[in-house]
Chains A and B, each alone.
Chain A
């Protein structure tokens, strides 16, 4: 093996020193000589007689990393076969590893939710690129000073469009014991919801200070999570918010189908605690009864692995935003809006619908929250939105209603779309009104600037041309 002593030059990178000496690889602080940038070089331990898993895992990382882009992963710089000693050089991420937060656990609930949301965003971007991380844990997450999360270590990852050498080479599951999903324990490496499970373990641990399935790396102990549920967080901390328990326990469902379908939906709930649909999960104060556990023990809840495409899954569980105008005279368009929404939801049963109404604020005077008759306008709007959505007959967990106060509707809608990673917007266009002539079209602005699909709905009506005789 080559020397990696400080000062050594390796293919144009100068070794400055050891940053971290890990179990499978050593990270070196290096400088790219050509432009003096500080980078990180990862060098696997490949001594004779080593576990072939380490070699294959490194091969996987060398294959996947160059294909990843975006702010949630370190930028790939170079990979090399340096006299039989392979390495990867990547961007150096400034920030704090979540591992350094373990001494502060448990963290405040809102901080845990914020961290979970950032990791969820990063995972969403990874899944969009056809990659499952499969080793989400504190040491593989860095929180940047701007608050964003960066995911590290793709040695156990699965790329949907590349050969999975880990899957083919080994029969035993690979991962980090406390964080590994039940299906990973059974050898499944193709379900994006495995990352949601690991995120759930991290959320549980960070909010309670206790790991939900212990610390064991022994396969026999790890397999208990296939039938034994963790202690409900509310049992561990009396003030634990039911909404957070709902989110965490849903992430930790044994059966992937009972978890959130996408990380975006996890983020949506973490960012909107008041809108989390509370189920029996949120009420649990003790673990499942032994009879239930025994039934699961001998009647596994985990069905056969599924084999569908990752990126396709994301589009099957979109977040759909419908902007509803509650005011007088919008009845026509609201009916068309409802029909269009029903059609879109019928094709994607896992979709979540967010109904949004903008409560217009005057730009000058301070508005009263009460209307002329002394009723709360905000509350009235929420009730009206629920009424509008009721005929869609959605599952409560599928529907949220939001009233946002803003003086200008278009930027408020756009902000909601961006912060909640909305996949599709449905909204009406009012034609020929005086307001539209003065202020310009809200739907046109949203359609032009939204980072997603926008469906603009118009009620059918006859144009003046249709009234004339046919030519």
Chain B
């Protein structure tokens, strides 16, 4: 039973659709959504509707900081991001806003843990940017595999039995064995706004039986997503960075 993980969709309909098709083609049977369904992108209604539909079919979903900002003005976002959140509020109906507000910060599916950012303080939205944050996150739970997103750059951390931490920049589309006897923290890249220099949408595929994780990349119609951002009058650089994957 393959599990697909989608993080940081950010209202990018084109990317999300392409990833869903790609994941099904690769045999994904379960879906876990790691937060930030809205923000930056031009299609929040469609993406939230799709998320609600998937959750109705059994998918798991956690809350992201942009989702939280929809009903909570105290989230710390930069000015342009805040502007898009304001625009998004005016697009979402009550059911959609209630759905986002009710999402949990973490989901514990032992031995796996799903969270948008670092697991030691999920409400503080700390970026897992280095071994230091990865160690804090792993130390805070007993999960053998934690899966998160938030930073938009794919990474894989592992902690040995002796507590030593290792970092790995995963190659795309190569299954990586998650050796037993270690604890792992998989940081998914972004579906809707990749920032590792590759504009292709990023998601994860986990094979729990084989204990292998694959960092998948999926090409999609980037131009259409960028044009939609400009057509909605949102900050144009959110579209430009889609084209560059930065």
| In contact, A162 and B167 (Cβ under 8 angstroms) | no
Q: Within the complex, what minimum Cβ distance (angstroms) separates B138 from chain A?
A: 14
Q: Is the CB–CB distance between B177 and A63 below 8 Å?
A: yes
Given known A-B contacts A168-B165, A169-B164, A169-B166, A160 and B180 have beta carbons under 8 A apart: no
> B171 near A163 (CB under 8 angstroms)?
no
Contact, CB under 8 Å: A162 / B161: no
B69 to chain A, nearest CB (A): 34
Distance between A84 CB and nearest chain B CB, rounded to angstroms: 9
Asked if A62 and B164 make an inter-chain contact with CB atoms under 8 angstroms apart, the answer reads no
Judged by a CB distance under 8 angstroms, whether B142 is at the interface is: no
**A-B contact count, CB below 8 Å?**
43
Q: Is A169's CB under 8 angstroms from B160's CB?
A: yes
Chain B binding surface SS class: loop
Confirm or deny: A17 has a beta carbon within 8 angstroms of a beta carbon on chain B.
no
Which residues on the B side are within 8 Å of A163 (C-beta)? 156, 158, 166, 168, 176
Q: Is A187 part of the contact surface with B, judged by Cβ < 8 Å?
A: no
- Interface residue from B161, B166, B179 paired with A168 (Cβ < 8 Å): B166
Q: Does A328 contact B (CB under 8 A)?
A: no
Interface of A: prevailing SS? helix
Please tell me if the beta carbons of B160 and A165 are within 8 angstroms of each other in the complex.
yes
> Which residue from A52, A59, A164 sits with its C-beta under 8 Å from B168?
A164
B59 CB, min distance to chain A CBs, angstroms: 29
Which residues of chain A are near B56, meaning CB under 8 Å? none
Contact, CB under 8 Å: B158 / A55:
no
Bound: A291/B244 CA distance, A: 52
Whether B1 is near chain A, meaning CB under 8 Å from some CB there, is: no
B179 touches A59 (CB 8 A): yes
| Cα A62 to Cα B182 with chains together (Å) | 14
Contact B181 A59 (CB under 8 A): yes
Assembly CA distance A63 to B156 (angstroms): 15
A35 within 8 A of B: no
**Contact (Cβ within 8 A) B167 A168:** yes
CB distance from B209 to the nearest CB of A (A): 14
Q: A63-B179, A168-B167 are in contact. Are A161 and B161 (CB under 8 A)?
A: no
Cβ-based interface call for A442 (8 A): no
Query: How many A residues touch the partner, as a band?
Result: 10 to 19
Kindly state whether residue B174 has any CB partner on chain A within 8 Å: yes
Closest to A60 in B: B179
Q: Does B90 contact A (CB under 8 A)?
A: no
Chain B 141-196 interface residues, beta-carbon cutoff 8 Å to A: 156, 158, 160-162, 164-168, 171, 174, 176-177, 179-182
Please give, as numbers and ranges, the residues of chain B lying within 8 Å of A316 by CB-CB distance. none
Chain B residues closer than 8 Å to A52, beta-carbon distance: 160-162, 164
CB distance from B196 to the nearest CB of A (A): 16
**Best-surrounded residue of B161, B162, B166 (most CB of chain A within 10 A):** B166
Query: Closest residue of chain A to B176, judged by CB?
Result: A162
Q: What residues of chain B lie closer than 8 Å to A165, measured between beta carbons?
A: 158, 160, 166
Q: Does A403 contact B (CB under 8 A)?
A: no
- Given the interface pairs A62-B179, A81-B180, the reply to whether A161 lies near B171 with Cβ below 8 Å is yes
B162 proximity list for chain A (CB < 8 A): 52
Q: List 13 A-B contacts (CB under 8 A).
A: A55-B160, A62-B179, A63-B177, A63-B179, A81-B181, A160-B171, A162-B177, A163-B166, A165-B158, A165-B160, A168-B164, A168-B168, A169-B164
Ordered nearest first, which 10 A-B pairs have the shortest CB separation?
A168-B166, A163-B168, A161-B171, A161-B174, A59-B179, A169-B164, A63-B177, A52-B162, A165-B166, A162-B176
Q: A163-B158, A163-B168 are in contact. List 10 more A-B contacts (CB 8 A).
A: A55-B181, A62-B179, A63-B179, A81-B180, A81-B181, A161-B176, A162-B174, A163-B176, A167-B166, A169-B160
